[in-house]
Amino acid sequence: MGKGKALQFLRSKHIAHMDLKPKNILLSSSREPFLKIADFGFAQYLKSNDGASDLRGSPLYMAPEMFLSKVYDARVDLWSVGVILYECLFGRAPYSSRTIEELITKITDGSQIVYPTDVKISEPCRDLLQRLLKKDPNQRISFEQFFDHPWLDFEHFPSDEHHQLAMNLCKTAAELDKSKDYEAAVKKYLAGLEYLVPLLTYEQNDAKKRSLKEKVQSYMARTEELKRIIKKDKQAASVAVACSSNDIEYIDESSTDYLKRVFADQPAIVAALQSGCTAEYMESEAHFRLAVEYYEVAIERLIRFTKVGMPPGEKKTKLQRQISDWLANAEAVNTKLKLFERDPAVQPLTPSPPIAAEGSSPGEASIFQSCRPQ
């Protein structure tokens, strides 16, 4: 499954689509939408060294060599992907023309593609886009380079195989944790989370999603705790003077760590606070929809705790202040998501849904993912 992402799947079968365009990318109507590549009417069986010669496709998305050369190859699909990506990022195609003749002239002559500067995209995203839109197919990115490009991150694409890999990494992390090799454990936990978060993003089954959420939150909580232990050990090792056993470690009273200690005897509140910490992590990693989900869980539970059985006082005030902060965060993230939904030309905020070859499952395919804000 992990290697069945759209173009990879098609190339593994030596198939060139020849007519990639937004109209041929279908959005499912499921609760967690994913995309499918459709309309293989122009598709052709082409091995790496094979060429085609007949004119086919939609001019706006056709590669220059299809107009200029008597023979072209499957790399025309990479140009089409570049045009689609450009359109997703900037809200229009690279070339605007009043007539087909004018369009073909711009595609085939020396006209340079203009990349708007008023839309912020990451350097890896810009690198991929510019390499896809090379007019000379010999200078264009190859399929192998495309599949390995870091901006696409196919390595962590959600699949059963990667789920098992994530669990193995976290199991190894737990073993290292038990043996007190904390730095190695942190690295393994983080490596496992890199696979688990995409799985959580696209999981459609409610029960499986709940289970994944709990695992992600648990592993993140332990990773944070281990980082604190490592930091404390390093600070202690760097102190050249003897410290009294009565010395108290300073913790910012406005931090979530402080609240966790204050409510250490109430595991349910600590768990709710950890949901908020997980939300902050998801927000920092640009997984905004997941961030909102975790914020909602944390806020709902903490509000319930403050309303039932918690007497007025400093502890309750600090908890209410944390709720207010996370409410503001959640509202800000929701505003960003709504803005992007209204205007796709606004810088993308979250990974795009998988794009699957027609007939494949959503976990098996993807052309590209949209960039994160920098």
Q: In this predicted structure, what is the pLDDT of residue 340?
A: 62
Is pLDDT of 259 > 90?
no
Per-residue pLDDT, 237: 62
Residue 89: CB partners within 8 Å, gap ≥ 6? 119, 121, 125, 129, 345, 347, 348, 370, 371
**Cβ atoms within 10 A of the Cβ of 296, count?**
16
Rounded Cα–Cα distance for residues 336 and 333 (Å): 5
For residues 184-201, give the mean pLDDT.
90
pLDDT at 250: 45
CA distance 106 to 359: 36
Assigned token pair, 259: 């609240």
The pLDDT score that the predictor gives to residue 353 is 37
Regarding pTM above 0.85, the answer is no
Average pLDDT, the chain: 79
Collect all residues with Cβ–Cβ distance below 8 Å to 127 and sequence separation of at least 6: 149, 151
DSSP secondary structure, 158-185, as one string? --HHHHHHHHHHHHHHHHHHHTT-HHHH
Q: Which long-range contacts (CB under 8 A, 24 or more apart) does 129-136 make?
A: 129/82, 129/85, 129/86, 129/89, 132/78, 132/79, 132/81, 132/82, 132/85, 133/79, 133/82, 133/83, 133/86, 133/94, 135/64, 135/107, 135/108
Q: What is the mean pLDDT of residues 45-72?
A: 72
> Within 13 Å, how many C-alpha atoms sit on residue 172's CB side?
16
Q: Where in the chain is the domain with CATH 1.10.510.10?
A: 6-155
Contact 217/209 with Cβ under 8 angstroms? no
Task: Tell me the pLDDT band of 33, cut-offs 50, 70 and 90.
Answer: low
Range(s) for CATH 1.20.58.80 in the chain? 157-238+254-348
User: Which residue among the candidates 19, 73, 77, 177 is catalytic per the annotation?
Assistant: 19
Q: Is the pLDDT of residue 55 over 80?
A: no
pLDDT at 364 over 50: no
- Under the banding of pLDDT at 50, 70 and 90, the label for residue 59 is confident
Model pLDDT for residues 339-362, shown as the tens digit of each residue: 766 554 444 433 333 333 333 333
**CB neighbour class for 370 (10 Å; exposed up to 12, middle 13-18, buried from 19):** buried
In b/e form, how buried is each residue of 246-257, taking b as 16+ CB within 10 angstroms? eeeeeeeeeebe
pLDDT tens figures, 113-156: 888 888 888 898 999 999 999 999 999 999 989 988 888 877 77
Average pLDDT of 175-184? 94
Question: Mean of the pLDDT values across residues 365-370?
Answer: 36
pLDDT tens for each residue of 75-107 = 999 999 999 999 988 888 898 788 888 888 888
User: Are 299 and 305 in contact, with CB atoms under 8 Å apart?
Assistant: no
**Three-state SS for 16?**
strand
Residue range 308-333: mean pLDDT, rounded: 88
Q: What is the pLDDT of residue 253?
A: 57
Topology of the domain covering 6-155: Transferase(Phosphotransferase); domain 1 (1.10.510)
Q: What is the CATH number of domain 157-238+254-348?
A: 1.20.58.80
The residue type found at 71 is V
Q: Is the model more confident about 99 or about 249?
A: 99
Percent of the chain with pLDDT over 90: 24
Indicate the burial class of 210 (C-beta count within 10 angstroms; 0-12, 13-18, 19 or more). exposed
What is the per-residue DSSP string for 232-269? HHHHHHH--S---TT------TTSHHHHHHHTTT-HHH
Report percent pLDDT > 70 for the chain. Answer: 79
Active site residue 177: no
- The DSSP H or E segment spanning 270 is helix 267-284
- For position 283, what pLDDT does the model report? 87
Instruction: pLDDT band for 47, please (50, 70, 90 cuts).
Output: low
Does the pLDDT at position 9 exceed 70?
yes
Q: Quick check: 195 and 151 in contact, CB under 8 A?
A: no
| CA angle, 147 then 128 then 1, to 5° | 25
Q: Is 98 helix (H, G, I), strand (E, B) or coil?
A: coil
Rounded to 5 degrees, what angle do the CA atoms 192, 195, 196 make?
Answer: 85
- Can you count the helices (H) and strands (E) in the chain? 13, 5
Dihedral of alpha carbons 261, 263, 264, 269, sign: negative
User: Confidence class of residue 25 from pLDDT cuts 50, 70 and 90?
Assistant: confident
Sorting pLDDT into bands at 50, 70 and 90, what band is 254?
low
